[in-house]
Amino acid sequence: MYFAALLARTEDGWEASDTDLDDVETLSDLTDLAREASVDEDTVLVFIEQEDAWFGVIRVDGEEDPRIYVSNASAAARSSYGEILLTDELLGREPGAEDSIAALEELVGLDGTEDGEPDNAPDNHNDDNDTTDDDDDGLDAVPAGPLGESGVLSDLGLPEAELLMLRTDALVEIADALGAAEVLETVR
C-alpha cells in the first residue's frame, strides 16, 4: 500500500494535500506536480511511502532541480513509484546506459550463439562451485539502503543523521520535525 502527499510551504506554515500518482510516469511529471502546488515558488515536499518497505522525499524549490532522498533504494527499485525516483544520476550511471546495454545485448546476442543455432555447449554447472549470482534480477546497480541527498531536510529542522535513522512511520516523524504533523494528518 502506498501513501503520497504534498507539503507546500507558505507564509502561514505548511499546507498538505494528498496526491494521486496514477498519471505520474517520470521524475519530471512529479516535479511539475510539486511546482503546481507551490505558493510563490516556495519549497514543496513530495512524500511517497510504501508501507514498511521504503519512503522517499522529493524537495522542489522553485525552478531548481529536485532533490531526492530514498530510504531503501533496492526496495524502491522493485516499486513502480520508486523507479521514478531512482534516476540514472541518483544511481551514478550514465543517462540511458541501461537502455544502451540492453540494445547491445539484443543486437549481439550475448548468449554465445547465433540466431537459429542451437546451444550445444556442455553444461559444466557444478552446484558446489557456483560463482554465479542466482539472485541477480537486474537490480545489481541499485544499492541496498539509503540513497540520495540525506541532508535534504536539514535546513527545515530534520538533521541528516535523524533522517538516516528513520524506518517505519517515517513521514509522521518527518512532518513532526518540520512542524507539519497536524496538516499531514488531515490527508493521511
pLDDT of 83-101, one tens digit each?
999 988 888 887 765 555 4
96 vs 18 pLDDT, higher one: 18
Q: Own/partner pairs for 145-149, CB < 8 Å, 24+ apart? A: 145/72, 145/73, 145/74, 146/69, 146/70, 146/71, 146/72, 146/73, 147/69, 147/70, 147/73, 147/86, 147/90, 147/91, 148/67, 148/68, 148/69, 148/70, 148/85, 148/90, 149/67, 149/68, 149/69
Residue 135's pLDDT band (cuts 50, 70, 90)? very low
Please tell me the pTM assigned to this model: 0.76
Residues 56-65: what's their mean pLDDT?
95
Range in 43-57, 111-125, 161-175 the model is least confident about:
111-125
pLDDT of residue 106: 54
> SS3 for 3?
strand
Residue 155's pLDDT band (cuts 50, 70, 90)? very high
Mean of pLDDT over the chain = 81
Residues 78-85: what's their mean pLDDT?
91
pLDDT of residue 120: 54
Percent of the chain exceeding pLDDT 90 equals 52
Rounded to a whole number of angstroms, the CA Rg of the chain reads 21
User: Is the model's pLDDT at 180 over the cut of 50?
Assistant: yes
Q: Which residues pair with 148 in a beta bridge?
A: 69
141 vs 84 pLDDT, higher one: 84
